């Protein structure tokens, strides 16, 4: 995959899709900066990598993407001396539509899923210009089409997708590629984190299974493999692409 010895920052590497991305990139020979707030979970990700890949180099960076962009870059450079790839995976869900919108939650979702990505990408960019590197953003099917009742999240991911396309155009002449993956429903802790549990979660999962044309939800590794592809030189002529990994859901007409 040509990711051997490439220095990759993965945000949200302490859980779900980000932990799977770290595993796939480690297998491809990348050197990893694992970013998240929960140090115990980051340690667990690193332990898994060490069990799977002999001699893997993975450093833990305890940081909040909404506040710590400069520290993330500085610690990565101190540890590895360069940055080849940034994977903006950290993200959170919001609940509800406009009528029941909690504006503080809206701000928090936009702050994490959009502003945090903008700040970190801007901070990493000088290093990517040196390495002719790449950015992969983890967006969502909810960025590609509207879902009633998922206002904050959908707005944040649609804006993230436009960010991907604009920065891809800006950076193309400099040889820095910027792409996104746009997953459908994937079983992780993201729903539980905002209190969707038990019957509510099971109902949501069943509706998700039924609403994906392939008749199932996605797996974290299906997303991670696509991230690894877009991060690698195999995708050397691909930039500004939004890559749906959603069993065909993005082509359904919103109801």
Give the bridge partners for 183, in sequence order: 245
Query: Which residues are CB-neighbours of 37 under 8 A, at least 6 positions away?
Result: 14, 62, 63, 64
Binding span for ligand NDP by CB under 6 A among 94-102, 120-128, 162-170, 188-196: 188-196
Among 12, 133, 154, 247, indicate the residue that binds ligand NDP (CB under 6 A): 12
Closest alpha carbon to 158 in 136, 180, 191, 125: 180
Residue whose entry in the numeric block shows the structure tokens 């590609």:
144
Phi, psi of 37 (to 5 degrees): -95, -30
Place of tokens 């995708």: 235
| Binding of residue 247 to ligand NDP (CB under 6 A) | no
Distance of CA 232 to the CA centre of its chain: 16
Whichever of 55 and 254 has its CB closer to ligand NDP, that residue is 254
Q: Residue 175: left (phi > 0), alpha (psi -120 to 50), or beta?
A: left
117 contacts 160 by C-beta, under 8 angstroms: yes
| Least distance from ligand NDP to the Cβ atom of residue 30, Å | 18
Annotated active-site residue 201? The verdict is no
Please choose, out of 96-104, 167-175, 179-187, 197-205, the segment that lies near ligand NDP by the rule CB under 6 A.
Answer: 179-187
Site for ligand NDP (CB under 6 A): which residue of 152, 188, 232, 239? Answer: 188
Length of the chain: 255
**Cβ 155 to ligand NDP, closest distance in Å?**
13
Report the distance separating Cα 63 and Cα 247, nearest Å: 33
Selected binder of ligand NDP within 183, 224, 235, 249 (CB under 6 A): 183
Closer to ligand NDP at the Cβ: 129 or 245? Answer: 245
Contact stretch for ligand NDP (CB under 6 A) within 32-40, 53-61, 70-78, 117-125: 32-40
CB of 144 to ligand NDP, least distance (A): 11
Residues 78 to 97 in contact with ligand NDP, rule: CB under 6 A:
89-92
Q: Determine the interface stretch with ligand NDP among 24-32, 77-85, 189-197, 228-236 (rule: CB under 6 A).
A: 189-197
Helices first, then strands: H and E counts in the chain: 9, 7
Q: Report how far apart the first and last C-alpha atoms of the chain are (Å, whole number).
A: 40
Q: Which is nearer to ligand NDP, 7 or 190 (CB)?
A: 190
Count of CB atoms situated within 10 Å of the CB of 130? 12
Q: Which one from 80, 153, 163, 229 is the annotated catalytic residue?
A: 153
Q: Among all residues, which ones are annotated catalytic? A: 153
Residues forming contacts to ligand NDP in the complex (CB under 6 A) are: 11-12, 14-18, 36-38, 41, 64-66, 89-92, 112, 138, 140, 183, 185-186, 188-190, 193
């Amino acid at each position: 995959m040509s990711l051997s010895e490439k220095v990759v920052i993965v945000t949200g590497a302490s859980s779900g899709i980000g932990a799977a991305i770290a595993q796939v990139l480690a297998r491809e020979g990348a050197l990893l900066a694992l970013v998240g707030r929960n140090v115990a979970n980051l340690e667990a990700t690193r332990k898994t990598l060490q069990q799977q890949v002999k001699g893997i180099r993975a450093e833990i960076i305890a940081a909040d993407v909404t506040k710590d962009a400069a520290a993330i870059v500085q610690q990565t450079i101190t540890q590895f001396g360069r940055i080849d790839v940034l994977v903006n995976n950290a993200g959170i869900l919001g609940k509800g539509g406009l009528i029941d919108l909690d504006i503080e939650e809206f701000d928090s979702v936009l702050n994490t899923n959009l502003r945090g990505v903008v700040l970190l990408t801007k901070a990493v960019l000088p290093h990517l210009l040196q390495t002719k590197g790449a950015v992969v953003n983890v967006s969502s099917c909810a960025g590609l089409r509207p879902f009633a009742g998922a206002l904050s999240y959908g707005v944040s991911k649609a804006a993230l997708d436009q960010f991907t396309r604009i920065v891809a155009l800006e950076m193309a002449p400099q040889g820095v590629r910027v792409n996104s993956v746009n997953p459908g429903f994937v079983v992780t802790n993201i729903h539980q984190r905002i209190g969707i549990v038990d019957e509510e979660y099971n109902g949501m999962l069943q509706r998700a299974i039924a609403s994906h044309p392939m008749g199932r939800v996605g797996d974290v590794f299906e997303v991670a493999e696509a991230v690894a592809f877009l991060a690698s030189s195999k995708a050397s002529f691909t930039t500004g692409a939004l890559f749906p990994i959603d069993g065909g859901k993005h082509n359904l007409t919103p109801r």
